[in-house]
Structure formats: structure tokens, C-alpha cells
């Protein structure tokens, strides 16, 4: 094995190197993929014949729940992340991501979140209400045990991991590109990654809110999904699918990006119409937010026609890509490597999956197909034929770069055909099963239904897929132990990652070349006129991120928090305290490190400011969802008190004024720090925090007064929506106050100077945002009738 | 349960659009696969050959293959919109009203205008529009009888409606199509579409009070009337429980336990003795009947036609 693999285990725990983190993601995700695969095989064994007795009904319901949850959140998403982590910095000519320690934190949260979810098996309570967890089956009334609690807590933990990664990669891609690499000169895989990260940071807040509602209903007795209290069960479905539809693009766009790299490389010509492929990716991401209720055509809502048209429209940018890929191959000099096999496989299989998707876009047809095996076929064609095949293509393509070894091409092609055949045998018949009326999520069926034969065939195919996965593992093992060494550029590649050794050195590139257009590296090699070869040495000092223990420890704190939610409040408090301590240590670890003072990027904006703006964008969706729920439920409470009977507008006007004034003080604080006026900086920082505390004081008074008057979280919909909305806002204010006090203490100890102005500015942005949200809340909740 | 064996106006409308989309999809798939096969065969690398021309794009081509799919989608969108409006229209006057309550894990059917209540087996007259109003007291279910059309969810707290006119007498199978817990797989139903005269006879039988049973069935009735059965089940003239299915005409139904088993004295006796052994999670408890008692109760229930 090459030297990079024999470092002691401890260094893997504190690593912040994007390449190592990519490997961690890849190995972890692959193991979870195997777990999800075993769950699938058990499902198929149970359904191989009528009246199956392989597992009980209860176990089966847990199996399909865990299979879906695992494959989406613990397999495909982190496998995508493995490639984001390893390849994006290399593809844009950076040496790491913008926030290497945050990157490590994302990984450790994923690992602990995934272990937490699967720990549910150990206590005999695996989640069993479906990966989509529809209310009110998920309520305490209908699923009293801890299975759903495991599910909703894990998803929230995993959501944090994804969100942090989203912010990280957006800043990296926008701010850290090689000189001359404009956005339109970025490789398409990087573009798809960028779109996916925006989808993540905007789509996760709605489901986070939906899960918070579910958690509060189950733990604290709120009424969000309580029909008797006036709750609307469609609320869960809306929140879930506003996340869920962008999520499918999160799952597939990276695969599209990989194919957009693999096909040009092995056809030896550029991606045909790269700008259009990029624009279509952006359009898909954007419009993907508008079509969520095509998952709800049978739910009994009103205007389905508009959503149907919108869904069909999205098919256009998707279909365009297929033609662009075909045109890339056309006129090329195609080398039929394994990576190319999988990429071509994706093109064919995703076409089938996309076409069955078009069928679902027509509500009349969908009313027959939804919740049947037809849609199970559709989703596996796009997720296996699409996402998984794309990931295999990426694996075969980038394996030499990552490991310094080649995978065996003969075994690889055999593996491809086994997976391809197994997959089609497993899932094509399911279109037919759906057409002849087999519903989904059923643990058994009767012989008289006429579904037996094709179910048996499907089961055989599933084991074919398993064999194919096994062959991949064999290929991987043989490569790692005695595979042929790989050169820096075994495929005559077109992009920057092939310009460095296999595997790359710790610092990725000895020199970072200027970029003159797309495929600069290829044009360098093949002697295109006008390309100046890059200098052979680089005078820029290479700063490498230092290893850190705080990511893994912070993630551990979060895991303890989650465990505490299922065990004892003392554990919750311990976990919270530990997490907060770790977060402070994390934040202060490089406080006085001169290499971290300036973090300017290509956009001319400091990394940390871009990060906060992205975060605030996600917070807009978070609070927007809470406010929208409040408005939707306004007037639907079955019992009082009602808003106009209890809200104290004069008092709240005062507290609003106080909060607005605190923003002014924050502005003064920042100005003072920027001109190094130590006295004034302390004064205004203190003032802002004080005014924030006063606001919180008003809120505490209000809450206790309301409870005395009979309005509690559990009383009615108004109580549930009001307290959760304003409570989370108050929580945000609290976080802001703590943040400001921390800055104040730093200043009092003489450790906050002009050079730290960016940190104060970032706190200020957060503080102003929280104020603006309050203005919205004050207007919509208090002032509007 | 085939979706392509349409037996109502609703199902036929759907099949019409289904057919169009399937043909369009097949043509598109063929074009893509043929194109893929051709490029893979025609444009192979030859060792030592120079790189091919580095074509970056072709605006006109890209425009046309953006516009072409849009036009093709019109072929699908137009019939889709037409069928949406036709199938979501309000039912004609004189439609038969049926209240459908989907519950864990069985179906309750009430005909308010006819004073009929039954469970798990829905009878409809051929040729007459029926409006199904769907609601439920527990979790979300979905009413799906593929041969009679698409599905519609049962959402507690909402009233959903499905309108259709079955056109062919026959027996059709349906099943719950929204995961609803342990026995979601066991929440089937039968829909019997009768010629109008036969439907009237069925209605009359539903409304009649069952005759006094004789022989072992009488013993069964005595057991029924004296045990907890009466707390959950209604038998006209005997009990008025509402937690479980109405059993007034139980003996005339073709299946047991929401389509799980054929309705025979043996299966009914086994069910009555230990429902949990047959249907995971079922709400009906085992009442500690002996085998003889269970057979007697089964004999009684089979007389209820």
C-alpha cells in the first residue's frame, strides 16, 4: 500500500484534510449502504412469495423504513459528499475547503447520527413508520414506542451535518477557485455540487421545522398534527415534500455532474453544450422547489393541474442533459472503460426512470400509480440507475487519483454487467406489478392476487445487485492490496485533479496554474495555441489547516444530546453543556492565529461573511416555515384563548423597540472595533447584549403571564404555534446574547482588536437578521387581526 | 386489481391518458436507446489516433432539442388537463352517496340515503354515478380499487371525495394504498357491482333485521350477546357497537378480515377465537372463547345474510 494509508488511527480522528475526510465519508457511507442493502434483501426475501414468513409484519415495516432512511441519508448523500470532499478542491485548484474543521465536524456528526439511528435496532425499536413518516401515524397515539423518536432525532442530527457541509462548500466554490477560473469555467461536477449545496441549505429548514413539530407533539404534547385540536395532517406532507422534492435533486445532480466529467474524458472531447448543462442544473434546482405537491396528488388537495404542468416543465432541463451527453459521445473517440460503462448505464437507465416520472406527472395516471410498485420502480430507476450508477462511475474514474492504484478493468466491466442485469431484473418487472395493482409498503400479499411470479423474479434480480456490489468490494480490495500503481493522469483527463500526483500530496498541488478556459489542463497537454504552461514552482506560502480534536468532540456532544432526549433530561443538559464548551473551544482555537486573520476570497468577501449570509438564507426558510404555519393555523384553534384575547400589543411594542435599538448599538459596536476604539467597543457590545437580555426579559414575562392565563404549548393550536415560533426566536436571541458576551469577554481580556472586526461584523449580521425576523413576527402575529 | 382493466368511467378516462403517455414514453426511449447504441458502436477510439474535433456545442441543435421535448409534453399535458377537469367534476344529480370510513385496518361503508351500513364489501349499482366521501377516525389511509379508477386518501379531519360510475357488473378488489401501520397489507376490500335490480335486492337484505337463528347458531348468538362483542359490533336488532365492523349481513360477505381470508365457518371460527394470530396488530381482542364456542359464534355469524 502507498504511504498515505499507513498513518496511525489517531490522526484520522483529528484530521481536517479534505482528502482524508472524503475517504472517511466514502468508507462510512459504503458500510451504511451495505446495511441498507441487507435490509433490501430481507424485504425481497419476504416478498419472494405470497404469505411470506421470513419476517413478521412489524419487522418488515421497520425494514422498509430503515432501508429508505439509510439509503437516502446514510448512503447516497454521504457517498456524494465523499466525492464533494475529495474532488471539489482539486477540481477548482484549491488546497482544501473554506472551513476544514467544520468539514470534519460534518463527517463526525454523520457518523454518530447514523450510529444513533441504527442503535434503535439494539433496543428493539427501529423506526417503522416509513422513511417519509406521515403524520399522524407517527403520533404518540398511534406509534407509542421510541421508534419514531429515534427517527426524528437522527434526521435532525443528520440535517445539521448536511447544513454545515452546504455552507462550507458554497463558500469554497465561490471563494477559492484558481486564478482565472470564472464560474463558467468550473467543471460541471463543481457546478452540480454548488446547486446541490444551495438546495441543501434551503430545503433542510422546512423538514427541520416539520420534525420539530413532530418532536414537540410527541415529547411536549403540542397540537401541530392533532386532528381533534384543529391540526391539518397535510401540514406534515407539505413540509416533508417541500424538502423531499429538492432532496431527490440533491441525490441525482452529483451523479449528473460525474457523468458530465466521465463522458468527455473517455470520448476525448469536451462536454457538448456545457453552459446549457450548467444552466439546466441551476433551473432544475430552482424549479425543484415548486413541484413538491406532485407527491400529494392523491391527498385530496385542490389545484393539481398547475403542479402537473410545473412538474412536466422540469422534465425539459433534465431531458436536455440526456441529449447533451449523447452529443458529447457523438463524434468522439470512445474508450470503453468501466467508468464509461457506468456513465452510459446512467444515461440509459435514467431515461427510463425519467419517463416513468413523466407518467407520474399526470395526475390522473398518477392516481393509479402512486403508492404502488410502479412508483417503487420509478424511484429505483432514478436512484440506482441514476445516483448509484453515477457513483460507481465516479468510483472507477477517481479511484486511481484517490488511492494511487488502478481498479481491474476486466473485473470492473463484469461487475457492471452483473449490477446492470441484476438491477433491471429486480426493478423493471415492478412497473408491471404496479400496473396490476400491487400497493407499496405491504409485508405480504395473497397468492390469488397474481403477483407471485414477478415478485420472485424481482427477488432474484436483487441478489444479482448484491453480487455486483460484492464484486466491487473484491475489486477494491485487490486494488488496495496489490493493484497496479496509477500515474498522475491515467485517463488523459481534462480537469485539474489530474495535474497532481496519485494520490495528491497533503497540500494537493505543488503549483496552482492559471486557468484560461474550460479544460485548460487538457489544452495544456495537447498543445493548443494560446495556452501558457504554468510555472513550475510557486512562491506563495502554502498554509495547511492544522488537525483538531474539537470536531469529533463537538459531534460527540451532539450525539449525547440525542441520546439524552430518549433517556433523561440530565443527559440532555450534560450533552448540551459539553457541546457548548466544545463549540467555544472550536471557535477560539485559532482566534489569535495570524494565518486566519484574513480569509478573503474570489468574490472579495471574507469566507466567514459569505458563510453567515448563506446561513441567514437558510434561516429565512426556517423562520418562514414557522411563520407560515402560524398563519395557516390562525383561527383554527378549537378552544381559546385566541390571540386577540391575550396578546399585549403595547408591551410588545416596547420590547420590539428595545430590540431595534439593540441593532443600533450593534452598529456602533462594530464601528468601534473597526477603528480600534477599545472603550467604545466594550460599551456598545455590552449595550447590545444588555438590550437583548431586556428583550428576553420581556419574553419571559410574557410567557409566564400567558401560562397563568391558561395559554400553554398544549392548550390549542395558537399556543403550539405561538410558543414554538416566538420561543425559537427567543432562542436565537439567546444565542446572539451569548455570542456577544463572548466577544465582550475577549475584548475585556485585550484579545479583540481591529484585526478581529470580521468576527464582530459576522455577529452583527446575525444579530440584525434576528431583529428583522422579529419585525416580521411582530407584524404578522401581534399586529395583524 | 389491474389498472388497465377499466370498469368505470373514471378508470377509462385514466386509461386514455395512460395510453397516450405510454406511447410517447416508448418512442422517446427508443430514440434515446437507438442514439446511444449507435454512438457507442460508431465512435470508438483507435489507439494512436489523434483526438477528435473538440466541438463545444451547437446553439441551433441545442435549441431544437429543448423545444422539441416541450412540444412533446404538450401531447401529454393537454389530455391530462382535460381528464383532470372531467374526473374532478361534481357528480350528476341522483348520484348514490356512500360514506367511506377508512380505519385501522378495515373499511366501513354507509349509505345514508338507504339506511345501510356494512363493512369491507362495497356494493354498487352498475351505470349509476356514485359519490364516495372519504374520512377516517385514526390515521391516513387510501381508498384504491384499481379497476374502478385512481385512489384517494382518507385524511382524518378532512372530507375527500371520489366520483365514478361503474359500468360493468362484477367483483373487484381494492386495497388500502397509504401505509397505515402494522396491518396495512391486510386492509383489502371487495367491490361488488350489481345490475340495478340485484343491487336493490342487496339493499333490502341489508336493511332487514336478521331472523332468529336455530340450532348451534342460536348458541352462538347467545355467546355474542353476552360477551364483549356487543361493545364493538352492530347487529341490527341485537347490538349497537361502533368500534368494529357492522356484522348485520356478515354471512353474505365473500371475505373475512378485510379481504384476508374467504368467509367460511372454519376461517370465521379461527378468527373469532384468536384474531391476533391472523392479523398483526388487530384491535379486536381474543375473548377467551373455547373452540366449541368459537364454532357456535361462527355458525351464528354465517346465518346473517
Q: Which residues contact A707 (CB under 8 A, 6 or more apart)?
A: none
Question: Which residue, A500, A525, A550, sits at the end of a domain?
Answer: A525
In a domain, A571, yes or no: no
Residues paired with residue B192 on neighbouring β-strands, in sequence order: B123, B171
* Backbone φ and ψ of A451, nearest 5°: -100, 0
CA distance B73 to chain A (A): 7
pLDDT for residue B74: 93
Q: At what angle do helices B59-87 and B9-42 cross, to 10 degrees?
A: 160
Q: Please give the Cα distance from A258 to A394 (Å, whole number).
A: 6
A359 touches chain B (CB under 8 A): yes
In angstroms, what separates the C-alpha of A17 from chain B's closest C-alpha?
A: 35
> Helix axis angle, A234-267 relative to A607-633, nearest 10°?
150
Same domain, A639 and A515: no
Q: Does A353 touch chain B (CB under 8 A)?
A: no
pLDDT at B68 over 80: yes
- pLDDT value at residue A543: 80
The answer to whether the CB of A555 falls within 8 A of the CB of A109 is yes
Query: What pLDDT, on the 0 to 100 scale, is given for residue A531?
Result: 59
Query: Quick check: B153 and A359 CB within 8 A?
Result: no
Q: Which of A73, A63, A69 is nearest to A28 (CA)?
A: A73
Q: What is the pLDDT of residue A533?
A: 60
Q: Are A19 and A97 in contact (CB under 8 A)?
A: no
pLDDT at residue A5 is higher than 60 = no
Q: Between helices B291-302 and B216-226, what is the axis angle to 10°?
A: 100
On whether residue A115 sits in a domain, the answer given is yes
Q: Is A362 on the interface with B (CB under 8 A)?
A: yes
Report the distance separating Cα B182 and Cα B282, nearest Å. 8
- φ/ψ of A49, rounded to 5, equals -140, 165
Structural domain that includes position A324: 13-525
A232-279, pLDDT tens digit by residue? 999 999 999 999 999 999 999 999 999 999 999 999 999 999 999 999
Q: What ipTM does this complex have? A: 0.96
| Interface residue A74 vs chain B (CB under 8 A) | no
Mutation target vs A (from B153, B189, B276; most A CBs, 10 A cutoff): B153
Q: Tell me what pLDDT residue A7 has.
A: 65
**Where are the strands (E) in A341-496, listed by range?**
none
Of A332, A358, A437, the CB nearest to B2: A437
Tell me the pLDDT band of A594, cut-offs 50, 70 and 90.
confident
Judged by a CB distance cut-off of 8 A, whether residue A517 touches chain B is no
H or E, element range at A1:
none
pLDDT band at A353 (very low <50, low <70, confident <90, very high): very high
The CATH number assigned to the domain holding A317 equals 1.20.210.10
Q: Which residues of B touch A316 (CB under 8 A)?
A: 66, 69-70, 73
Whether A103 and A211 share a structural domain: yes
Average of pLDDT values for B260-276?
95
pLDDT of residue A540: 59
Which chain A residue has the Cα nearest residue B183? A57
Q: If you average pLDDT over residues A422-439, what whole number do you get?
A: 98
Residue A570 lies in a domain: no
Give chain B positions within 8 Å (CB) of A59: none
Mean pLDDT is lowest, of A57-66, A393-402, A453-462, A521-530, for: A521-530
Q: What is the DSSP letter of A362?
A: S
- Chain A residues touching residue B178 (CB < 8 angstroms): 134, 298, 371
* Residue A536, pLDDT above cutoff 70: no
What is the DSSP track for A169-192?
HHHHHHH-PPTT--GGGS-HHHHH
SS3 category, A515:
coil
Q: Is residue A181 part of a domain?
A: yes
Q: Are A365 and B18 in contact (CB < 8 Å)? A: yes
Task: Kindly state whether residue A660 falls inside one of the protein's structural domains.
Answer: yes
Output the CA torsion A763→A768→A774→A776 (10° steps).
-140
Active site residues of A: 67, 96, 131, 161-162, 245, 247, 249, 260, 294-295, 318, 321, 440
pLDDT band at A534; cut points 50, 70, 90: low
Q: Do residues A510 and A370 share a domain?
A: yes
| B7-29 tens-digit pLDDT | 999 999 999 999 999 999 999 99
For residue A226, is it within any domain? yes
**Cβ(A535)–Cβ(A199) below 8 Å:** no
Side-chain-side CA neighbours of B7 within 13 Å: the count stands at: 22
What size, in residues, is chain B? Answer: 305
Q: HEC string of A31-65?
A: HHHHHHHHHHHHHHHHHCCCCCCCCCHHHHHHHHH
Predicted pLDDT of residue A343: 98
**pLDDT digits 0-9 by tens, A53-111:** 999 999 999 999 999 999 999 999 999 999 999 999 999 999 999 999 999 999 999 99
Confidence tier at A532 by pLDDT (50, 70, 90): low
Give the pLDDT mean for B163-172: 96
What phi and psi values does residue A712 have, to the nearest 5 degrees? -115, 175
User: pLDDT-based confidence at A471, cuts 50/70/90?
Assistant: very high
**Interface subset of A 310-349, CB within 8 angstroms of B:** 312-313, 315-316, 319-320, 322-324, 326-327, 329-336, 344, 347-348
pLDDT computed for residue A3 by the predictor: 45
Q: Given this model, what pLDDT does residue A1 score?
A: 37
Do the beta carbons of residue A311 and residue A294 sit within 8 Å? yes
A514, A651: one domain:
no
| Residues 6+ positions from A363 with CB-CB distance below 8 Å | A297, A304, A305, A308, B80, B84
A359 to chain B: which residues are within 8 Å by CB? 18, 21-22, 25
| Cβ separation B69–A316 shorter than 8 A | yes
Sheet containing strand B116-119, strands side by side: B116-119, B106-111, B96-103, B130-135, B160-164
* A517 and A650 assigned to the same domain: no
Residue B89 has what pLDDT? 84
Whether A490 and A630 share a structural domain: no
Length of chain A: 785
Residue from A58, A279, A439, A454 whose CB has the most chain B CBs within 10 Å, to mutate: A439
**What does the alpha-carbon distance between residue A703 and residue B119 come to, in Å, rounded to a whole number?**
49
**N-to-C CA span, chain A:** 71
Q: Compute CA distances B90 → A45, A386, B10, B129, whole Å.
A: 45, 41, 13, 11
Going by pLDDT thresholds of 50, 70 and 90, the confidence category of residue A535 is low
Residue A335: predicted pLDDT: 96
Q: Alpha-carbon dihedral of residues A613, A618, A622, A623, nearest 10 degrees?
A: 30
A367, A375, A413: best mutation site toward chain B, by most B Cβ within 10 Å? A367
Query: Quick one: pLDDT at residue A529?
Result: 61
C-alpha cell at A665: 448599538
Lowest-confidence pick of A422-426, B16-20, B206-210: B206-210
Work out the mean pLDDT of chain A and round it to a whole number: 95
- Rounded Cα–Cα distance for residues B127 and B124 (Å): 9
In this prediction, residue A519 has a pLDDT band, given cuts at 50, 70 and 90, of confident
| DSSP one-letter code for A71 | I
Based on the fold, state whether residues A659 and A513 are members of the same structural domain: no
- C-alpha cell read off for A717: 393550536
Cα distance between residue A185 and residue B70, in whole Å: 29
Q: CB A367 to CB B150 under 8 A? A: yes
- Number of domains, chain A: 2
- Per-residue pLDDT for A416 more than 50? yes
CATH, residue A779: 1.20.120.80
Q: Which of A561, A389, A572, A409 is nearest to A478 (CA)?
A: A409
CB distance B182–A58 less than 8 Å? Answer: yes
Residue B173 pairs in a beta bridge with B190
Contact criterion met (CB below 8 Å) for A630 and A725: yes
DSSP string across A322-360: HHHHHHHHTTS-B---HHHHHHHHHHHHHHHHHHHHHHH
User: Are both A291 and A160 inside the same structural domain?
Assistant: yes
Those residues with Cβ within 8 angstroms of residue A155's Cβ, 6 or more apart along the chain or in another chain: A69, A73, A207, A211
Of A493, A525, A557, the one marking the end of a domain is: A525
Is residue A5 one of the residues assigned to a domain? no
Same domain flag for A515 and A661: no
Among A327, A331, A363, select the one facing B53 at the smallest CB separation. A331
Judge whether A638 is closer than 8 Å to chain B, CB to CB.
no
Question: Does A57 sit within 8 Å of B280, measured CB to CB?
Answer: yes
Instruction: Report chain B residues whose CB lies below 8 A from the CB of A364.
Output: 13-14, 17-18, 80, 83-84, 87, 150
| Best residue of A365, A373, A443, A531 to probe chain B, by most B CBs closer than 10 Å | A365
> For cell 385512481, what's the residue?
B150
pLDDT band for A2, please (50, 70, 90 cuts). very low
DSSP-assigned beta bridge partners for residue A485: A405
Which residue among A482, A498, A525 closes a domain? A525
Residue B237 pLDDT > 60, yes or no?
A: yes
**Among all residues of chain B, which has the CA nearest to that of A302?**
B88
CA-to-CA dists, residue B207 to A700, B202, B248, angstroms: 62, 9, 9
Set of cell numbers at residue A75? 448512503
- Give me the residues of A, 260-299, that contact B with CB < 8 A: 267-270, 272-276, 298-299
Please tell me which of the candidates B151, B152, B182 has its beta carbon nearest to residue A57. Answer: B182
The pLDDT tens digits for A642-666 are: 999 999 999 999 999 999 999 999 9
Q: Are residues B3 and A437, on separate chains, in Cβ contact within 8 Å?
A: yes
Q: Is residue A611 part of a domain?
A: no
**For range A285-296, the mean pLDDT:** 94
* Residue pairs spanning A and B at CB distance below 8 A: 260
Minimal C-alpha gap between B206 and chain A (Å): 28
Same domain for A246 and A383? yes
Pairing of strands B239-240, B141-143: unpaired
* Chain B nearest CA to A152, separation (Å): 17
Summarize the confidence of residues A674-699 as an average pLDDT: 96
Amino acid at each position: 500500500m502507498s504511504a498515505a494509508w499507513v498513518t496511525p488511527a489517531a490522526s484520522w480522528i483529528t484530521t481536517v484534510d479534505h482528502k482524508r475526510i472524503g475517504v472517511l465519508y466514502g468508507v462510512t457511507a459504503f458500510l451504511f449502504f451495505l446495511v441498507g442493502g441487507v435490509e433490501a434483501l430481507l424485504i425481497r426475501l419476504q416478498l419472494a412469495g405470497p404469505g411470506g414468513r421470513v419476517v413478521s409484519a412489524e419487522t418488515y415495516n421497520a425494514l422498509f423504513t430503515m432501508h429508505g432512511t439509510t439509503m437516502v441519508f446514510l448512503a447516497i448523500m454521504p457517498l456524494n459528499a465523499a466525492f464533494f470532499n475529495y474532488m471539489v478542491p482539486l477540481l477548482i485548484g484549491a488546497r482544501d475547503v473554506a472551513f476544514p474543521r467544520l468539514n470534519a465536524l460534518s463527517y463526525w456528526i454523520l457518523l454518530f447520527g447514523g450510529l444513533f439511528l441504527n442503535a434503535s435496532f439494539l433496543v428493539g425499536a427501529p423506526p417503522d413508520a416509513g422513511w417519509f413518516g406521515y403524520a399522524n401515524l407517527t403520533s404518540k397515539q398511534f406509534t407509542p414506542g421510541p421508534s419514531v423518536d429515534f427517527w426524528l432525532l437522527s434526521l435532525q442530527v443528520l440535517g445539521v451535518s448536511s447544513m454545515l457541509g452546504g455552507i462550507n462548500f458554497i463558500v469554497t466554490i465561490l471563494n477559492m477557485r484558481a486564478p482565472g477560473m470564472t464560474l463558467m469555467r468550473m467543471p460541471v461536477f463543481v457546478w452540480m455540487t454548488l446547486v446541490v449545496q444551495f438546495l441543501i441549505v434551503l430545503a433542510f429548514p422546512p423538514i427541520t421545522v416539520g420534525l420539530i413539530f413532530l418532536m414537540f407533539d410527541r415529547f411536549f404534547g403540542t397540537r401541530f398534527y392533532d386532528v381533534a385540536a384543529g391540526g391539518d395532517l397535510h401540514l406534515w406532507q407539505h413540509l416533508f415534500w417541500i424538502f423531499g422534492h429538492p432532496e431527490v435533486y440533491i441525490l441525482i445532480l452529483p451523479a449528473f455532474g460525474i457523468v458530465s466529467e466521465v463522458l468527455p474524458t473517455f470520448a476525448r472531447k469536451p462536454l457538448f453544450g456545457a453552459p446549457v448543462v450548467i444552466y439546466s442544473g441551476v433551473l432544475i434546482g430552482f424549479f425543484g422547489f415548486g413541484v413538491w405537491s406532485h407527491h400529494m396528488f392523491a391527498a385530496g388537495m385542490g389545484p393539481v393541474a398547475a403542479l402537473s404542468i410545473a412538474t412536466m416543465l422540469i422534465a425539459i432541463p433534465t431531458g436536455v442533459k440526456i441529449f447533451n451527453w449523447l452529443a458529447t459521445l457523438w463524434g468522439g473517440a470512445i474508450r470503453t472503460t468501466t467508468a464509461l460503462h457506468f456513465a452510459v448505464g446512467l444515461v440509459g437507465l435514467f431515461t427510463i426512470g425519467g419517463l416513468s416520472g413523466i407518467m407520474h406527472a399526470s395526475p390522473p395516471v398518477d392516481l393509479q400509480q402512486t403508492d404502488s410498485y410502479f412508483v417503487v420502480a420509478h424511484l429505483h430507476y432514478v436512484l440506482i440507475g441514476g445516483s448509484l450508477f453515477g457513483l460507481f462511475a465516479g468510483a472507477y474514474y477517481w479511484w486511481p487519483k484517490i488511492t494511487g492504484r488502478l481498479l481491474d478493468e476486466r473485473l470492473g466491466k463484469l461487475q457492471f454487467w452483473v449490477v446492470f442485469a441484476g438491477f433491471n431484473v429486480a426493478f423493471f418487472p415492478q412497473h408491471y406489478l404496479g400496473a396490476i395493482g400491487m400497493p407499496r409498503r405491504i409485508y405480504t400479499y395473497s397468492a390469488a392476487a397474481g403477483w407471485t411470479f414477478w415478485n420472485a423474479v424481482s427477488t432474484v434480480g436483487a441478489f444479482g445487485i448484491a453480487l455486483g456490489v460484492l464484486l466491487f468490494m473484491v475489486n477494491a480490495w485487490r486494488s488496495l492490496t496489490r493493484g497496479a500503481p496509477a500515474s498522475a493522469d491515467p485517463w488523459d483527463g481534462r480537469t485539474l485533479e489530474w495535474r497532481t500526483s496519485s494520490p495528491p500530496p497533503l497540500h494537493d498541488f505543488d503549483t496552482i496554474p492559471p486557468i484560461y478556459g474550460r479544460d485548460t489542463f487538457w489544452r495544456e497537454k495537447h498543445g493548443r495555441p494560446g495556452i501558457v504552461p504554468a510555472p513550475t514552482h510557486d512562491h506563495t506560502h502554502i498554509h495547511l489547516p492544522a488537525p483538531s480534536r474539537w470536531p469529533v468532540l463537538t459531534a460527540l456532544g451532539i450525539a449525547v444530546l440525542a441520546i439524552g432526549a430518549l433517556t433523561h433530561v440530565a443527559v440532555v443538559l450534560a450533552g448540551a453543556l459539553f457541546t457548548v464548551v466544545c463549540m467555544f473551544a472550536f471557535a477560539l482555537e485559532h482566534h489569535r492565529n495570524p494565518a486566519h486573520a484574513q480569509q478573503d476570497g474570489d468574490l472579495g468577501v471574507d469566507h466567514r461573511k459569505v458563510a453567515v449570509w448563506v446561513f441567514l438564507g437558510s434561516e429565512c426558510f426556517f423562520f418562514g416555515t414557522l411563520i407560515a404555519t402560524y398563519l395557516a393555523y390562525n383561527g383554527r384553534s378549537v378552544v381559546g384563548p385566541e390571540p386577540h384575547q391575550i396578546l399585549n400589543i403595547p408591551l410588545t411594542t416596547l420590547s420590539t423597540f428595545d430590540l431595534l435599538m439593540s441593532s443600533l448599538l450593534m452598529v456602533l459596536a462594530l464601528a468601534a472595533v473597526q477603528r480600534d476604539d477599545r472603550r467604545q467597543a466594550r460599551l456598545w457590545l455590552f449595550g447590545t447584549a444588555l438590550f437583548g437580555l431586556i428583550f428576553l426579559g420581556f419574553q419571559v414575562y410574557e410567557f409566564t403571564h400567558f401560562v397563568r392565563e391558561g395559554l400553554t404549548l398544549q392548550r390549542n393550536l395558537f399556543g403550539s404555534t405561538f410558543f414554538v415560533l416566538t420561543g425559537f426566536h427567543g432562542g436565537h436571541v439567546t444565542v446572539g446574547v451569548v455570542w456577544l458576551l463572548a466577544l465582550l469577554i475577549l475584548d475585556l481580556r485585550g484579545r479583540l482588536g481591529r484585526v478581529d472586526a470580521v468576527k464582530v461584523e459576522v455577529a452583527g449580521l446575525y444579530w440584525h437578521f434576528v431583529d428583522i425576523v422579529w419585525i416580521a413576527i411582530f407584524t404578522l402575529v401581534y399586529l395583524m387581526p | 386489481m389491474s389498472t388497465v382493466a377499466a370498469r368505470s368511467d373514471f378508470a377509462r378516462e385514466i386509461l386514455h391518458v395512460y395510453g397516450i403517455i405510454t406511447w410517447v414514453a416508448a418512442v422517446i426511449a427508443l430514440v434515446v436507446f437507438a442514439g446511444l447504441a449507435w454512438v457507442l458502436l460508431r465512435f470508438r477510439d483507435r489507439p494512436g489516433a489523434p483526438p477528435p474535433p473538440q466541438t463545444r456545442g451547437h446553439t441551433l441543435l441545442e435549441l431544437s432539442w429543448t423545444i422539441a421535448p416541450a412540444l412533446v409534453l404538450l401531447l401529454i399535458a393537454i389530455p391530462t388537463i382535460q381528464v383532470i377537469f372531467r374526473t374532478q367534476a361534481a357528480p350528476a344529480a341522483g348520484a348514490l352517496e356512500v360514506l367511506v370510513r377508512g380505519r385501522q385496518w378495515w373499511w366501513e361503508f354507509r349509505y345514508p340515503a338507504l339506511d345501510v351500513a356494512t363493512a369491507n364489501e362495497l356494493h354498487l349499482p352498475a351505470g349509476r354515478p356514485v359519490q364516495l366521501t372519504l374520512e377516517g377516525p385514526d390515521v391516513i389511509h387510501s381508498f384504491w380499487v384499481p379497476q374502478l379508477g385512481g385512489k384517494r386518501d382518507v385524511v382524518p379531519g378532512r372530507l375527500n371525495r371520489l366520483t365514478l360510475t361503474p359500468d360493468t357488473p362484477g367483483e373487484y378488489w381494492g386495497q388500502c394504498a397509504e401505509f397505515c401501520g402494522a396491518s396495512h397489507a391486510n386492509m383489502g376490500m371487495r367491490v361488488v357491482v350489481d345490475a340495478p335490480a340485484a343491487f336493490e335486492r342487496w339493499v333490502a337484505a341489508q336493511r332487514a333485521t336478521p331472523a332468529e337463528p336455530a340450532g348451534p347458531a342460536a348458541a352462538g348468538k347467545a355467546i355474542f350477546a353476552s360477551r364483549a362483542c356487543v361493545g364493538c359490533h352492530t347487529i341490527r336488532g341485537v347490538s349497537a357497537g361502533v368500534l368494529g365492523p357492522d356484522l348485520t349481513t356478515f354471512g353474505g360477505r365473500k371475505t373475512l378480515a378485510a379481504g384476508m381470508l374467504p368467509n367460511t365457518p372454519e376461517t370465521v371460527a379461527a378468527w373469532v377465537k384468536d384474531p391476533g394470530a391472523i392479523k398483526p396488530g388487530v384491535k379486536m381482542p381474543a375473548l377467551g372463547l373455547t373452540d366449541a364456542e368459537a364454532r357456535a359464534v361462527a355458525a351464528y355469524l354465517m346465518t346473517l345474510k
